[in-house]
A = this chain, B = another copy of it.
Amino acid sequence: MTATHNSYAPGHDASQTKHHEWRTAENSAVHLLPHLARLAPHTPHLKLLDVGAGSGTITASLAKYLPPGGRITATDISDDILLRARNHAATQSLGTDKITFLKASVYHLPFQDGEFDVVHAHQVLSHLGAPVDAIREMFRVCRPGGGGVVSLRETDMAMWCFWPETPALQEGFRGLMARTLTANGGQDRAGRRLVSWALAAGVPRGQIEAGFGTWCYSEPGDQRAWGEAMIERLKTGQMRSKGIEMGITTEQEIEDMIKAWREWVETEDATLGIMNGEVIIKKGS
């Protein structure tokens, strides 16, 4: 398979980055934290690579789990989003040299073999045409012999459950998100495939730890923030303009979804559960 490079499918517009800023190490990289706790005491200069760092909120919040001499390199393929991530980091009192930002493709990471103790990617493989090649490249730059790991987390668009089960959300919005990913050459059900992809990248089964983690939007503040971000995204994001252009949605469908989100936000018992695949790949010796 030839590795073609896809940009982050739904587009990194302001409406999308806004809700991504809700993400932290604590709510989006829990599976990695025990490995950082294990490595930090005997890896004073721990090097972490955050691939496809996006708006950089997980990147910045991972910094506090590193030893004082630890450093993060954060990559993305978009200059705009790197600027945003750099600006976010600047507000976090991390010290100017804690995180280095770098434009790079996940398929051609500009690093030597084994350069990083930890290689992390969150919601990145879903946007790629060749996720196996990306895992092979991340595995390449992970350091052998020191307990290093590659950490992956991806959603699965079949595993979003809404209450109430409004069709415009449960089938409509979820379906459009899935079609947007695949129409852009990405993967709509990455969550369940991580073990399969890691094996295809040549990693022995014994070096793969698999699990699933969740997001829950139900607490009134979370629910409203998420719903309003989705409305903003449907109103102004590329999912609308590109989706209509590509013929995977219509103006009317978008309007129906906006209306459904507005009602959902006002519903006291509204709940949204999202399941994500989580895999830790041990580099081994």
Contact = CB atoms under 8 A, between A and B. Distances in A.
Interface of A: 156, 158-159, 161-163, 165, 189, 191-196, 199-200, 205, 209-216, 218-220, 268-269, 271, 273, 275, 277
A159 B275 contact: yes
Nearest to A196: B269
A193 to B, nearest CB: 6
Contact of A199 (B195, B200, B211, B269): B269
A210 B219 contact: yes
Contact of A191 (B161, B193, B220, B277): B161
Nearest to A222: B210
Contacts of A158: 161
Given A212-B214, A220-B205, A275 B273 contact: yes
B212 A216 contact: yes
A266 to B, nearest CB: 13
B271 A210 contact: yes
Given A156-B161, A163-B192, A275-B161, A268 B216 contact: no
Given A159-B273, A163-B192, A275-B275, 20 more contacts: A156-B273, A159-B161, A159-B275, A161-B275, A163-B193, A163-B196, A191-B273, A192-B273, A193-B271, A194-B271, A196-B269, A199-B269, A205-B268, A210-B216, A210-B219, A210-B271, A211-B216, A212-B214, A212-B216, A213-B214
Contact of A161 (B192, B210, B219, B271): B192
A189 B205 contact: no
A212 B275 contact: yes
Contacts of A215: 212
A56 to B, nearest CB: 26
Contacts of A199: 268-269
A220 B209 CA distance: 11
Given A159-B159, A161-B191, A161-B192, A273 B212 contact: yes
A67 to B, nearest CB: 27
A77 to B, nearest CB: 28
A215 B268 CA distance: 28
Contacts of A213: 214
Nearest to A162: B192
15 contacts: A156-B161, A159-B275, A195-B269, A195-B271, A196-B269, A199-B268, A205-B220, A205-B268, A210-B216, A212-B216, A213-B214, A214-B275, A271-B277, A273-B277, A275-B275
